[in-house]
A and B are shown apart, each in its own frame.
Chain A
């Protein structure tokens, strides 16, 4: 039995504006180390909302979330920022690179923030990640001078820099064409098989979800298997 990386217990979430609506209803599940999980469901079923709760960016919920078997507090903003920095890697639908920096610096930023290794070491690691993803030639380009597919790969490299316990993706292929989507999937797949990286990817692309190890399907704020 492998260790549990992420666990949700009796999580309920409400939206208060304009009226109180329950968006997540008694969510219970756990993800083990090394699993490649996709979270699917129709638009509005609450899958992105759940992902934000799991990623500690949204703290307005009931229930408990455990990351690395540690319960996440709901108030301590600094502590949560540290958790995000150390234990979670993020890939978003719209790439979200910092346009003020070049590709290499974008990848390095979370590593520098972690402040575990020297700057040279972080730079070396960042180059390694870029090499794994086959984009080391872009390292010194400005973030807004690379294509959409390349941006997404830079974002994945950034998510990897601190060797997180889990990578979370919010429709990372949602904005990409078939070719780039496949490439991103292949990368995730490689990370999972070669590096035993735990992944939790929100998607509504059935072909993407089918190829993952495990699908968590959601409907109307509940998990249906």
Chain B
């Protein structure tokens, strides 16, 4: 009852000067709108940039690295066990690049609950022959269906279908730049030469565009079987296993575990692409600080308007106090005013912010490097909306608290006598 009365009084004070109230609320609305739009847009762009690399990067890559053997012969002798070894002119191991016992590893990965999926990969260095011109290129043997599911391979295939790689034998998908150099299109046949001199005719079933020019100029994809055939290798020959986890943050830990378990090199995505994480967290930081600055500015707006309101309402405050309203009552009235401005402005701001970001989402954005993107990216994360409304509540509360405290301390005698 008592609270209801105070809220009624606050309401009357608000509506008595509804234009002023509206200006204050619009200040909040504007900043919340901008906060939501800015964060949605910036984090949409951020995700796009991250996705450009991270979507296609396995969380853990299992492979045999070319590097010197950790256990040099001198270490095997017990005689110099504690001594420091000076070994010069070490050469990298002439290790074979294929993964030992690959089938067993694939079987055990299938049983690992932390693994979302995996796809084998096989890389071959080849030459594309076009008349007298030989173009150096790389050929990746993949499982197109798993590769599309886990690493969005199909998103980057701009014409043709990646699934055709399994359906049509001796087929290949070329990078767009590479296809341009070879002057071939879907249905044409290209001739490739392996590093061992063998020649193959492959049918082009698709073109892909990754957004990275250097990549599109040399890369091509084919099924694992085709590449094994080209390299004259058995069907268990694969050079890498790409693992995608349910939780990306576990990658470094699990990578270490696999290294131990399979006696293989394992590289996690955090190590392989550390610069992306840094960049992305800095971009997030920037957008949050701009957004929060907007909200604080709006808070000062509310502070000013409430201060002004209290100055205007001196008489009313004095009369309320003279007729038995305590300082706390008066303070609560002004805090209710501030909070209702904040909540109303904030909610409208959320709606406008949503519509503005939905509008941006419709603006065409075509760029050669991003074949899958047709409009500006927007991230509709509910987190932004929660932060927006909570922050508008908090800023307006504090913006109201100081003027309200001042109002509660006004001495009615000073005002009544002052007239």
Name A's B-contacting residues (CB within 8 A): 48, 52, 55, 57-58, 77-78, 81-86, 90, 92-94, 96-101, 105, 109-110, 112-115, 158, 162, 170
Contacts and interface: CB of A to CB of B under 8 A. Distances in A.
Contact of A170 (B12, B319, B323, B416): B416
Contacts of A113: 2, 5, 323-325, 329
Interface residues of B, number: 28
B416 A101 contact: no
B323 A109 contact: yes
B308 to A, nearest CB: 16
A112 B5 CA distance: 7
19 contacts: A48-B417, A57-B412, A83-B324, A84-B322, A84-B324, A85-B324, A85-B325, A90-B322, A96-B322, A96-B416, A98-B316, A98-B320, A100-B15, A100-B316, A105-B12, A109-B320, A113-B323, A113-B324, A115-B2
Contacts of A101: 12
Contacts of A100: 12-13, 15-16, 316
A11 to B, nearest CB: 15
B76 interface: no
Most chain A CB within a 10 A radius of its CB, from B319, B321, B411: B319
A52 B413 contact: yes
A98 B416 CA distance: 14
A49 B180 CA distance: 97
Most chain A CB within a 10 A radius of its CB, from B321, B322, B327: B322
A100 B326 CA distance: 19
Given A99-B16, A100-B316, A115-B2, A158 B323 contact: yes
Interface of B: 1-2, 5, 9, 12-13, 15-16, 315-316, 318-329, 411-413, 416-417, 419
Contacts of A57: 321-322, 411-413, 416
Given A96-B315, A96-B318, A98-B316, A110 B419 contact: no
Given A100-B16, A113-B5, 16 more contacts: A52-B416, A78-B327, A81-B321, A81-B325, A85-B325, A86-B324, A94-B419, A96-B319, A100-B13, A100-B15, A101-B12, A105-B12, A109-B9, A113-B2, A113-B324, A115-B1
Contacts of B416: 52, 57, 92, 96, 170
A88 to B, nearest CB: 8
A90 B5 CA distance: 21
Most chain A CB within a 10 A radius of its CB, from B16, B321, B324: B324
A45 B340 CA distance: 46
